[in-house]
Amino acid sequence: MSRPQQITVLGATGSIGLSTLDVIARHPERYQVFALSGFTRLSELLALCIRHVPQFAVVPEVAAARGLQDGLRAAGLPTRVLVGEEGLCQVASAPEVDAVMAAIVGAAGLRPTLAAVEAGKKILLANKEALVMSGALFMQAVHKSGSVLLPIDSEHNAIFQCMPQDFARGLDKVGVRRILLTASGGPFRQTPMSELAHVSPDQACAHPNWSMGRKISVDSASMMNKGLELIEACWLFDAKPSQVEVVIHPQSVIHSLVDYVDGSVLAQLGNPDMRTPIANALAWPERIDSGVAPLDLFAIARLDFEAPDEQRFPCLRLARQAAQAGNSAPAMLNAANEIAVAAFLDGRVGYLEIASIIEDVLNLEPVVALDDLDAVFTADAKARILAEQWLSRHGR
Ligand code: NAD
Ligand code: MG
């Protein structure tokens, strides 16, 4: 029997990281954890190291590394601790590694994910922000290294499963007319508009169907998540923004659909549990048990669909505009959103101000071409500064 595949899990202490480790632990003959990273919850990272015995663990700074190393030594583990972005890039590209789960949230995941791409690893991509920021450069790097890029986002994993194997030839050539990207509509789909100004971070994070990290939960409430996913879908499947239609489907059972020119529409269904796309990508093109319960269609009983309301969800409109503008617009959108969401989670701005901040930032800064990674980070930094300036201008 062949040796188990060596897996690096970036963002191991997060929601996707933990679901990934749950699937991996069900298949010790197939997968072994090579490295884990954490950022804040370091006692949880130690517990994960004790459970999975990785060769490396990565933490943000030296003091945290000392604390973790002491804990590892006390537990008699051989795990070595690395530090910072350099450590993340090292465990993402190490020669022993077969696949990298990119599950750091936000722009912080870009460099380590790209390091894995450049090293030709199999990439399990949860960190959509990395692709949104640097789409053209990211996809060029994928093509150059021959890296296999597998989407973890449930919608993109669903689309991937519904696409023909040779979709990279071009959607027109393989008879795909449209991608139908489903969205739950989040916790505020039916909240009276007059109440939206006063909703709290905890209300925004109380997603009706999915349990996720706080940043993506707020993005789901504002539908910026769907906007980022629209941009993500364009890069992953070489689609034009006009070929991606967002469909609100409150039950989150159909994870997305592909519409073919002959009128066939293929959908992927399943319980809303990220272990399904994670297991799909880990084992692709094979199938393995994920621990997810079988879908009970009789219990679900009905599936509903509605068009998104861009008055209610201005972030979706802003993201579509950024997708159409291309170049630096998606990176700026993403960076402004990260600042605005962090400010909302800290109680510094109201929910409705998230979209206002992003719109102001996008209006203030012209769209420029992004020829290299430095240009991506320059656009990202500019948008962060402009968003911070919005906050100070408004006394936050
Ligand atoms: P989370 O907040 O639960 O976890 C984030 C992880 O990233 C943690 O391990 C944290 O330690 C690490 N991290 C945070 N900031 C960091 C930094 N500056 N440097 C290094 N590491 C850092 O988030 P999540 O819900 O697991 O989401 C992770 C990614 O997956 C996001 O990009 C999200 O959009 C995407 N995603 C998540 C889900 C989901 O169901 N949770 C679904 C689809 C896509
Ligand atoms: Mg998703």
36 C-beta closer than 6 A to ligand 1: no
Give the neighbor-by-neighbor strand order of the sheet with 265-269.
244-248, 176-183, 254-260, 265-269
Whether residue 1 has pLDDT greater than 90: no
For residue 128, the ligand closest to its alpha carbon is 1
Nearest alpha carbon, ligand 1 atom 41 = 212
Domain limits, the chain: 5-151, 154-316, 326-396
273 C-beta closer than 6 A to ligand 1: no
Q: Which of 73, 74, 13 is nearest to 48 (CA)?
A: 13
Over residues 137-163, the mean pLDDT reads 98
Give 15 Cα–ligand 2 centroid separation in angstroms. Answer: 13
The C-alpha atoms of residue 183 and residue 155 are separated, in whole angstroms, by 9
Contact 171, 239 (CB under 8 A): yes
pLDDT tens-digit readout, 289-304: 999 999 999 999 999 9
Give 12 Cα–ligand 1 centroid separation in angstroms. Answer: 9
Over residues 127-154, the mean pLDDT reads 98
Instruction: Extract the tokens encoding 25.
Output: 């632990």
Give the chain's mean pLDDT. 97
Q: Which of 206, 205, 207, 223 is nearest to 215 (CA)?
A: 205
Whether residue 173 has pLDDT greater than 90: yes
CATH class label, 5-151: alpha beta
CATH class label, 326-396: mainly alpha
Which atom of ligand 1 lies nearest, measured to the CA of 228? 34
Burial code of 173-193, b = ≥16 C-beta within 10 A, e = fewer? Answer: ebebebbbbbbbbbbbbeeee
211 C-beta closer than 6 A to ligand 1: no
Please give the single-letter amino acid code of residue 120. G
The C-alpha atoms of residue 331 and residue 341 are separated, in whole angstroms, by 15
Give 264 Cα–ligand 1 centroid separation in angstroms. Answer: 35
pLDDT tens-digit readout, 97-120: 999 999 999 999 999 999 999 999
For residue 182, the ligand closest to its alpha carbon is 2
Dihedral sign from CA coordinates of 276, 278, 281, 283: negative
Contact 82, 91 (CB under 8 A): yes
376 C-beta closer than 6 A to ligand 1: no
Give 108 Cα–ligand 1 centroid separation in angstroms. Answer: 10
Residues whose CB falls within 8 Å of the CB of residue 280, separated by 6 or more in sequence, listed in order: 150, 157, 161, 287, 290
pLDDT tens-digit readout, 48-68: 999 999 999 999 999 999 999
153 C-beta closer than 6 A to ligand 1: yes
Peptide bond into 285 cis (omega under 30): yes
Which atom of ligand 1 lies nearest, measured to the CA of 129? 32
Give 388 Cα–ligand 2 centroid separation in angstroms. Answer: 27
The C-alpha atoms of residue 96 and residue 86 are separated, in whole angstroms, by 17
151 C-beta closer than 6 A to ligand 1: no
pLDDT given at position 224: 98
Per-residue CA distances from 89 to 42, 83, 281, 293 (Å): 19, 10, 21, 35
Q: What is the dihedral of CA 278, 269, 170, 98, to 10 degrees?
A: 10
- pTM for this model (two decimals): 0.98
Strand residues in 168-216 grouped as ranges (E): 176-183
For residue 125, the ligand closest to its alpha carbon is 1
